[in-house]
A and B are shown apart, each in its own frame.
Chain A
């Protein structure tokens, strides 16, 4: 097993015990003896609250999310235009002067710092600020849905593989290895290219090729092994613990043991992975959109906007800078916050490495970043 179960044990009722010397409670430097009634999550929350940098960056991310989800309000009441409305032949008054939105030579207007075209326009005369917010909404939606898919499926797969072992584990672990062997961006574009053409139809669920859910599903699937493998490793260790035996002797079913005994013990791992997967999902969406295998135009997203902007470098650099800065700020916000969460849950940031070569690859949550 590659991951040291630094996470606390649990008693049958789901209350978290702090007996193990490796538990976060015992590792708390200023905490002294573990006092009854304060669980590791309470302590983690207390530690996180002390980390002002992490909180500030977390707040930045939340602010960006709120702004992006208010995109229709901004479009209707401030900019008075939609994300896909062309204004190529329109003019805008800046400082009492009439200006073309897109000049005769095809150059879009830069930031005007007023209600209309606050951040300028793109080559089609579309309001950049409106597109930025709608694009952010799309990027974030894809990121959140992808993360949801990854976390749910990875938990199920990791639990099943680690708990049942044997054939189930053999098959599931091989499938995970297979997905994991692909470089992330290559697998993403392979799936993105083929699915953008035909969409997905799995039983009753049918998605058309330009649906936002297509990139979300792809990204969600691509990241499953990075979460499922560490969870499997942890479950392999947990299933040998006394409290699992105790539950089994009491006649608990496998499903009950998995959900009531083991799941609470891998919860902190899941919490650590959550912000990391959100950050990486947003980055991968941008990468796929940049290559034309993600969100399909005219739907805006940060990735497609940057990709459009790069084509107009060097004449209209604001088209790259604006969505680029927003993307980096959002991802940085969630990354710094996630780093704080990891520190808070596990102050020594322990992901123990054992001597067994193939087991330890990329099981450190930090090792997910593979978008190049």
Chain B
């Protein structure tokens, strides 16, 4: 067990390192992407541009720029190009909104994905199954920003049931926080519910044809007990691993579209705004953060599964 954890942690650190290099290269090694020219503005003289280049270290060799950037990120004093604000502070401010979105939506989509998927599998081939399949496919075919905008138009503007976007901190007013989060949660969940219910359906159908399920039935267990204790339990493993990845992605600013549509001022929207201004450091940090969240949570899930199921330790 200890060996497994250590091995998994080492590979995690290696992947994180590779991610930071790749992300850095995406932004730094591009032609014509010279940030100094953009920072200096249109009327700048070449000397001014050169000065900026010198003071921000854009003339250093690439590996040195990488080291400086990483040092700044790890020590927490990266400065954005356009607003010249500390990126880490900005992200810290944006984190509560993103956290609220991820946790709430994560619970909703896991719950409904499992309920619909299980229901669909039990009724496989019948009308309920077909209807749920079509609904799931509509869910995965609708862009989240379109769904969000349309929901805002009807529910916030026309019927004024919900507020028109924005985020209220939980510590400030829990009721208002909930009121503002319901629409974003629902909209972000739709896509995932579609995906998860389809996967769970096929997992459940698979598991139901396993020998141990037949054994469980043969020894006289009730259908409900067979479904919950034997079928659902085993069908949930891939769903949980997938959930941890998607949850990590949302946490790391991956819900950039939902956050922008609902104006939540979360981590993702911070990145989206930075993109509009071609401000590299915030995008760099958020992309690294998102990828790191995925890597860390996937490692944690692996360790958890290895703890629960000894077979994984042997093969992994």
- Give A contacts to B, CB under 8 Å: 174, 177-178, 181-187, 189-191, 193-195, 197-199, 201, 209, 279, 283, 286-287, 290-293, 303, 306-307, 309-310, 313-314, 317, 320-321, 324, 327-328, 331-332, 335-336, 339, 348-353, 355-358, 360-362, 364, 366-367, 369-372
A370 CB contacts on chain B under 8 angstroms: 246, 249
15 interchain pairs, CB-CB under 8 A = A185-B256, A189-B272, A198-B32, A199-B32, A290-B257, A290-B260, A291-B257, A306-B146, A332-B141, A348-B206, A349-B205, A353-B238, A362-B245, A364-B202, A370-B246
Interface string of B73-92 (1 = CB under 8 A from A): 00000000000000000000
A286 CB contacts on chain B under 8 angstroms: 143, 146
In the complex, number of A-B residue pairs with CB atoms less than 8 Å apart: 207
Size of the B side of the interface (Cβ < 8 Å), in residues, is: 79
From residue B6, how far is it (CB to closest CB) to chain A in Å? Answer: 16
Q: Which of B194, B254, B298, B312 contacts A356 (CB 8 A)?
A: B312
**Distance between Cα atoms of A356 and B286 in the complex (Å):** 31
A356 CB contacts on chain B under 8 angstroms: 311-312, 315-316
Q: Which of B143, B192, B237, B298 contacts A306 (CB 8 A)?
A: B143
**Distance between Cα atoms of A367 and B246 in the complex (Å):** 10
**Distance between Cα atoms of A176 and B301 in the complex (Å):** 20
**Distance between Cα atoms of A307 and B257 in the complex (Å):** 11
Tell me if B188 counts as interface (CB < 8 A to partner A): yes
B302 CB contacts on chain A under 8 angstroms: 357-358
**Distance between Cα atoms of A313 and B262 in the complex (Å):** 13
From residue A315, how far is it (CB to closest CB) to chain B in Å? Answer: 10
Given A292-B275, A306-B146, A327-B146, A355:B311 Cβ within 8 A: yes
- The binding surface of chain B is classed by DSSP as helix
Q: Find the B residue at minimum CB distance from A336.
A: B137
- Give B contacts to A, CB under 8 Å: 15, 18-19, 22-23, 26-27, 30-33, 133-134, 137-138, 140-146, 149-150, 152-153, 157-158, 188, 191-192, 194-195, 198-199, 202-203, 205-206, 209, 237-238, 241-242, 245-246, 249-250, 252-258, 260-261, 271-272, 275-276, 278, 283, 286-287, 290-291, 294-295, 298, 301-302, 305-306, 309, 311-312, 315-316
Q: Find the B residue at minimum CB distance from A323.
A: B146
Given A182-B291, A328-B141, 14 more pairs with CB closer than 8 A: A183-B254, A190-B287, A194-B26, A198-B30, A198-B31, A279-B141, A291-B260, A306-B143, A313-B152, A351-B202, A366-B198, A369-B140, A371-B144, A372-B254
- The binding surface of chain A is classed by DSSP as helix
Q: Are A186 and B316 in contact (CB under 8 A)?
A: no
**Distance between Cα atoms of A355 and B31 in the complex (Å):** 46
A369 CB contacts on chain B under 8 angstroms: 140, 191, 194-195
A189 CB contacts on chain B under 8 angstroms: 256, 271-272, 275, 283
**Distance between Cα atoms of A182 and B158 in the complex (Å):** 38
Q: Are B275 and A293 in contact (CB under 8 A)?
A: yes
From residue B24, how far is it (CB to closest CB) to chain A in Å? Answer: 11
Given A189-B271, A335-B140, A362-B242, A324:B146 Cβ within 8 A: yes
A184 CB contacts on chain B under 8 angstroms: 254
Q: Which of B141, B254, B286 contacts A335 (CB 8 A)?
A: B141
